């Protein structure tokens, strides 16, 4: 019985250390007074979602910058920020998606 408890304690220690390394690598800000593995896992998930949102935002900004660098004042960035031009049919959008897919 004592060996089993020690083995479980050791396993929890390893898991805690592993989550600590992941938290550090992702620069997770740990909430004060939260030491549980579950709390660390939740914080990691929240940080990953934040990183994904930041990456998406950076990609959109970069796309706008590239478009602006090619077309200057001839492109309506404000209008572009609202999505696709409304005049396209679904099949036309699918054709455009197919055409640009190899470039991304």
Q: What is the pLDDT of residue 38?
A: 80
Separation between Cα atoms, residue 24 and residue 97, nearest integer Å: 38
What would the DSSP string read from start to end of the chain?
-HHHHHHHHHHHHHHHHHHHHHHHHTT--PPTT---HHHHHHHHHHHHHHHHHHHHHHHHHHHHHHHHHHHGGGS-HHHHTT-S-TT--HHHHHHHHHHHGGG-
Residues in the chain: 104
Q: How far is CA 50 from the centre of its chain?
A: 6
pLDDT digits (tens, 9 = 90+) for 34-83: 667 788 788 888 999 999 999 999 999 998 899 889 998 888 888 888 88
This prediction's pTM: 0.62
pLDDT digits (tens, 9 = 90+) for 3-40: 888 888 888 888 888 888 888 888 887 777 666 778 87
Q: What is the pLDDT of residue 58?
A: 95
Q: The tokens 């200057």 sit on which residue?
A: 72
Q: Name the percent of the chain lying above pLDDT 90.
A: 26
The answer to whether 40 touches 62, Cβ cutoff 8 Å, is no
């Amino acid at each position: 019985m004592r060996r089993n408890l020690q083995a479980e304690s050791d396993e929890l220690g390893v898991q805690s250390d592993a989550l600590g390394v992941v938290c550090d690598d992702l620069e997770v800000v740990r909430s004060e007074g939260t030491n549980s593995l579950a709390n660390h896992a939740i914080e990691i998930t929240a940080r990953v979602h934040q990183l994904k949102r930041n990456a998406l935002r950076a990609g959109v900004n970069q796309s706008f910058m590239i478009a602006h660098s090619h077309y200057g004042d001839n492109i309506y960035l404000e209008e572009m920020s609202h999505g696709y031009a409304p005049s396209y049919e679904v099949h036309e959008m699918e054709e455009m998606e197919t055409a640009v897919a190899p470039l991304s």
